[in-house]
Amino acid sequence: MGELNTEIDSVLHALGPCSLFPVLQCFLYFLTYIWDAYQLFVYVFISQEVTHKCASPSNTSEPLIPELHDDSFNNTAVHFGKNVSGDVTSTEYPCVYGMHYELPKDFSVVSQYDLVCERAPLAELTQTLLSLGSGMGAATLAGLSDRFGRRRSVIICLLLSVPVSLAAGLAPNYALHAAMKFCLGFLMPGIGVTAFTAGIELFPSSHRPLASGLVSGLWWNFCLSSVAPFAYALRFKSWQTLQLATLGWAALGIFMIVFLSEPLRWLVANNKIEEALRVVKKAARWNRMNPQPVLDIFDDLRSRGHTSKLQNGVDKTTDSAESAKNSVKADVLGTHPATNNEANPPLKTDHAWKPSSTEVHAKAEEELGYKHLIIHRRLRTNTLVSFFI
């Protein structure tokens, strides 16, 4: 992989390591940090504690507890005093008439879902569920982006986050709100972590520290810092307004669908040669340069076999399995097939050394890869035979 990265660096240098195309593509990927930052930190502002106390009964309501005298209301419970023949008893009950908040009920998640008194830990549980979902998403979605592509993962996760965030803001009860926060946390690494990886893949190895360390770190801190003035501007609105206002950043998905490209390094590593050529031409067009010199470098890499398995890749892997089987036969039976000495000269060593069957199979398996062993029937048969002969 290190040799592959070095070879692709020559193409990236030919396109211009700090030219318009990689810089704008990196900017588009890193722009998704705003979405993750707002979904992560907005809960600090929508879950503020609200001064509360037990609500007193209305004039029209029937008393829930009969024969009560000298009642008092505090923050957490209702105390009822009863005087019978000079014997005064005091009994504590929950807030039987509900809660009274000094601010509007929709000011905070805490007041909206009555997350006070014995339900107060639920307010903290919400952010815990968001972090738990984020950890699970990092372990799952980041790996899927290696297989299905950076661009596709970022766009899909961003578009899926929109209805989830909308449901979290309009949830009629706390259970649904908490479940949507968990799902939102699960999708966040598919956006932020994947965007970070794609952003640094756009540059040659020599420019990666600048992109991953300085630019990415400063931009992430800026995104986090921007949540506070955004929330301050909407401080007199309901928490639902603030939650739904963050959906405006989902418009980034439109720009990404139109302008975003897969990193060239990922395309080459996954043998997407035709798409890689289109990206090279697109980059040259954005940079206002002649694409032919870059295409010549790319074709030279292909001819040397650094960027793809060429036409007979499957046949080569089949031959590798066949040679592995023959080597094991030679080890077990003590016979060696005749070889062409001119095409395959004997290995000169200071001592007679012959690799064991385990080493032969390990090397053959490394060359084949699990993909070919699963897909091709002949490969499966030859490999199984080589294990049992």
Q: Give the tens place of pLDDT for each residue, 62-91.
A: 555 444 444 444 455 555 555 555 555 666
- 214 lies in the same domain as 357: no
SS3 label, residue 54: strand
Kindly state whether residues 249 and 154 are assigned to the same domain. Answer: yes
Alpha-carbon distance 331 to 348, whole Å? Answer: 19
157: three-class secondary structure by DSSP: helix
Q: Find residue 90's DSSP bridge partners.
A: 81
Residue 369 lies in a domain: yes
* Order of strands, sheet of 69-73, starting from the edge strand that comes earlier in the sequence: 69-73, 78-84, 87-93
pLDDT exceeds 60 at position 382: no
Establish if 114 belongs to a structural domain. no
pLDDT digits (tens, 9 = 90+) for 340-366: 444 444 444 344 334 444 444 445 444
Is 54 inside any structural domain? Answer: no
Same domain for 226 and 362, yes or no, is no
Let me know if residue 71 belongs to a domain: no
CA distances from 40 to 35, 73, 264 (A): 9, 37, 31
Per-residue b or e along 168-185, where b marks 16 or more CB atoms closer than 10 Å to that residue's CB = bbebeebeebbbbbbbbb
* Residue at which a domain ends, from 241, 263, 284: 284
Q: Please check whether residue 259 lies inside any domain of the structure.
A: yes
For residues 274 and 182, membership in a common domain is answered with yes
Place 130 in a pLDDT band, splitting at 50, 70 and 90.
very high
Mean predicted confidence (pLDDT) in 28-49: 90
Give the pLDDT score at 77: 52
**318 in the same domain as 279:** no
For residue 263, what is the domain's CATH number? 1.20.1250.20
Confidence of residue 10 (pLDDT cuts 50, 70, 90): confident
Q: 331 and 245, same structural domain?
A: no
The answer on 323 and 192 residing in a single domain is no
Residues in the chain: 389
Question: Residue 376 pLDDT > 60, yes or no?
Answer: no
Instruction: Assess whether 321 and 210 both reside in one domain.
Output: no
Confidence of residue 134 (pLDDT cuts 50, 70, 90): very high
Tell how strand 52-54 and strand 99-101 pair up.
Answer: antiparallel
Residue 23 lies in a domain: yes
The reply to whether 317 falls in a domain is yes
Which residue segment(s) compose the domain that 23 sits in?
2-46+119-284
Tens digit of each residue's pLDDT (9 = 90 or more) over 284-340: 999 999 989 888 888 887 777 644 443 333 344 334 444 544 543 444 444 444 444
Kindly indicate the confidence band of residue 205, based on its pLDDT and cuts at 50, 70 and 90: confident
In a domain? residue 304? no
Do 128 and 193 belong to one domain? yes
Supply the pTM of this predicted model: 0.68
Both 133 and 173 in one domain: the answer is yes
Domain count, the chain: 2
> Do 330 and 256 lie in a common domain?
no
Are 74 and 95 in contact, with CB atoms under 8 Å apart? no
N-terminal to C-terminal alpha carbon distance within the chain: 34
Q: Six-digit token pair at 380? A: 């499966």
> Which DSSP string corresponds to 250-281?
GGHHHHHHHH----HHHHHHTT-HHHHHHHHH
- pLDDT over 70 for what percent of the chain? 67
Say whether both 321 and 191 belong to one domain. Answer: no
Cα dihedral: 55, 61, 66, 71 (round 10)? 30
